[in-house]
Amino acid sequence: MLSTVRNTLRVPVAGVLRLFQTSALQASEKFDHKRIPQEDEGVQGEKVVDLDSVLKIKQNLFPTLDSDNQIFDGILYKQLPICNIRVSHNNTIFTMTDASGTVKIIRSCGMEGFKNTKKGTNIAAQTTAIAIATKAIDRGFKTIRVRVQGLGPGRLAAVKGLQMGGLNIVSITDNTHVSWNPPRPRKARRL
């Protein structure tokens, strides 16, 4: 327990003497960070989602054989423009193409003004995504598909930035290359 310290101030106000008392905060018990939280405690806004019920409601959540023939904003799914996002640890590169693969817009974090190690951050990826989204809307792209390739800090921020820029994202595909025969690791460092 902390001891209480009291200070008394005497302040004359318009001929009347008033007393103000201040005291230090009292801690009734120490905070135990090793305590396991109770069942009802949790993060504000946290909620449990029953995945089976969500899947029953959204039958068309995963692609089927008929997905290419679905229409989004008056355009067939297979003819929607594609935004390819290549994420690495050092940079994030966005390429907007039409359905046939012809490149229309290219932006990278370096082109947006980020230099050196700042190019690889999620803030740089999100800023670049918003910039390419505004350029895509100016060119007439509204609904797009997204392909993400690579591992890096800007993966999620890039997709979020495209949404914040005003693009309607229909699908997100992960095209990250998985090498089953990776290169030989470096020689162990001698200490």
CA distance 5 to 76: 74
What pLDDT score does 2 carry? 47
In percent, how much of the chain has pLDDT > 90?
Answer: 42
CA 150, chain centre distance (Å): 16
Query: Per DSSP, what are the bridge partners of residue 96?
Result: 83, 105
Give 96 or 18, the one with higher predicted confidence.
Answer: 96
Distance of CA 127 to the CA centre of its chain: 12
pLDDT for 64 equals 74
Query: What is the reported pTM?
Result: 0.64
Please name every residue paired with 147 in a beta bridge, in sequence order, or none if there are none: 84, 173
What's the CA gap between 107 and 89, in Å, rounded? 17
For the chain, the domains span 66-174
- CATH 3.30.420.80 for domain 66-174: yes
As beta bridge partners, residue 86 has: 93, 149
Question: What does the alpha-carbon distance between residue 23 and residue 27 come to, in Å, rounded to a whole number?
Answer: 12
pLDDT tens by residue, 52-61: 666 666 555 5
